[in-house]
Structure 1
Amino acid sequence: MAKPDAESGRKRDAATPRERYRAQVRTEIKDHAWEQIATAGASALSLNAIAKQMGVSGPALYRYFAGRDELITELIRDGYRSLADTLRTAAAGGADLSGLAHALRGWALEDPHRYFLLYGTPVPGYHAPDDTTAISAEIMATLLDACTALTQAAPAAPFAAHLAEHRDWAGDHPAPPAALHLAMSFWTRMHGVLSLELAGHFTGMRFDPAQLFAAELDDLLRGRG
């Protein structure tokens, strides 16, 4: 058996620091991107502006991201992975659908700009690649598991039957129609309250948004969608 080439071995060893450096630079770019989003919104995101903040030329950053859209895609993927991990960890700890709802709210409040990049107004001119849908499907799968546990013997309402015929959003999950209905109701109602709260629409109304969220959740669970 031939011995490994010494030069190849040195190149492999040298690649690890380069990969670490590349990852560090990409992280720094993303940190600056989040700062821009917080200040001016995702539609104003600019690699050239980030390069100026970092003290490098604009073209230098294109070695790390091909353009604005690739950077936005990476931020969206990071966001979906973060939420998927949050819900998966909660479920692994025994959280039911109510527990997942509060985990979702905690995640959203932790970083509203991240939340709105995923679930707010689409960025003008940006189209997410198909593989981002696969990551978001992991989030829905965790919710569908919890919804299925609550609706095993529940009859299917007309809208549930409709969802059963249009279930691409559920991926390969074998959830019954009633669980699909509950998951969709959960998704629309919880995100509805969260979006209004994070956008500041409850400011000045003198009530606690956390209690509204809990009341909507309780109503949803009592009515099972």
Structure 2
Amino acid sequence: MAKATGTASPRERYRSQVRAEIKERAWEQIADAGASALSLNAIAKRMGMSGPALYRYFGSRDELITELIRDAYRGLADTVDAAAKDGAGLPELGHTLRRWALDDPHRYLLIFGTPVPGYHAPDDVTTISSEIMSALLDASAKLPDDSPGPPGSPESPDPSSSPEQDFEQHIDAHRQWAGDHPATPAELHRALSFWTRVHGVLSLELAGHFTGMGFDPATLFEAELAALLRR
């Protein structure tokens, strides 16, 4: 009857609460020692449970990691989607990504940092990440296309193709990652460049590689966004 009315039973509510606490303890472990050190038995001990009892909620370490990755990707995708619906352009989406990363560095590093040894994420995780890329492609499409024309055209007097043009032809021929988005090759290139350079700066910043270099990472991030837009 509970399922028929859309109301969870006491047993289902209890299971949901225990799973949520397990994930909370997992994030604490990841913050202390990294995802590769995640231990269900250690979480069970922290919660006053036996190992076998906890395995009734998550069947393996990889199942728990998958749930954490899904939650992290879902949180980022929803944040980016909300900003896009508010009219955010590519630079604003860049700042949205950075704020999310700084607010949740362990979630960011779980999905964009060093892969967990021996772990392989399921395909549906890629589907969630494609929502983020779709928002970036939409924002990229709203910017003026200032890429040079085909070799030999007035916009591109040099008859030889440039590395950028070569790559855009290549990326247009391998655009499966963009789904059915109607982005032009230049828009695909811009969105992908945005993705790689933004995450490059963020990953270095969150891993502490700018510490002691004497500059503000926020200033570098702003400069990278400006350079992308000038392209």
Give me the TM-score of the superposition, normalised by structure 1. Answer: 0.91
Q: Which runs of 5+ in 2 are unaligned?
A: 150-164
Alignment-derived partner of residue 171 in structure 2 = 163
Q: Residue in 1 aligned with 2:9?
A: 16
Output the amino acid matched with 2:204: L
- Residue matched to 1:202: 210
- Looking at structure 2, the residues matched to 153 and 191 of structure 1 have their Cα atoms a distance apart, in angstroms, of 24
List, as ranges, runs of 4+ consecutive aligned residues in structure 1 with deviation greater than 4 Å.
10-15, 151-156
- Distance in 2, Cα, partners of 1:109 & 1:220: 21
Distance 1:41 1:10, change over 3 A: closer
1:36, 1:42 within 8 Å by CA — same for their partners in 2? yes
Match of 1:94 among 84, 87, 91: 87
Q: CA shift at 1:98, angstroms? A: 0.5
Offset, 1:15: 4.7
Q: Return closer, same or farther for 1:32/1:163 CA change in 2, 3 Å cut-off.
A: same
Mapping of residues 92-131 of structure 1, within 5 Å: 92-131=85-124
More helix by percentage: 1
What is the distance in 2 between the residues matched to 1:184 and 1:52?
44
**Deviations 1:66-110, CA, capped at 9 Å, x for gaps:** 100010001000011111011111111111000000000000001
* Alignment match, 1:187: 195
Give the 3 Å change call, closer, same or farther, for CA 98–48 of structure 1 in structure 2: same
| Maintained 8 Å contact 2:2/2:9 | no
Give unmatched runs, 5+ long, in structure 1: 1-8
Following superposition, the deviation at residue 58 of structure 1 comes to 0.6
Q: Which residue of 2 aligns with 1:3?
A: none
Q: CA deviation at 1:18?
A: 2.0
Give the root-mean-square deviation of aligned CA atoms.
1.7
**Partners of 1:34 and 1:154 in 2: CA distance:** 44
CA distance in 2, matches of 1:205, 1:198: 14
Equivalent in the alignment of 1:177: 185
Alignment of 1:25-64 (within 5 A): 25-64=18-57
TM-fit CA distance, 1:155: 4.8
Contact 1:51 1:57 in 2 (8 A): yes
Q: Which of 133, 136, 150 pairs up with 1:143?
A: 136
Q: Aligned AA for 1:207?
A: F
Q: Which range is displaced more, 14-23 or 135-144?
A: 14-23
C-alpha distance in structure 1 between counterparts of 2:203 and 2:41, whole Å: 31
Count of residues in correspondence between the two structures? 215
Cα distance in 2 between the residues matched to 1:136 and 1:11: 31
Aligned-pair CA distance for 1:16: 2.4
CA distance in 1, matches of 2:143, 2:59: 45
Cα deviation for residue 172 of structure 1 reads 2.1
The answer to which of 85-94 and 150-159 deviates more is 150-159
* More divergent stretch after superposition (181-190 vs 145-154): 145-154
**Cα distance in 1, alignment partners of residues 27 and 210 from structure 2:** 25
Partner of 1:81 in structure 2? 74
Q: Say which SS state the counterpart of residue 150 (structure 1) adopts.
A: coil
Residue 163 of structure 1 deviates from its aligned partner by: 0.7
TM-score between the two structures when normalised by the length of structure 2: 0.88
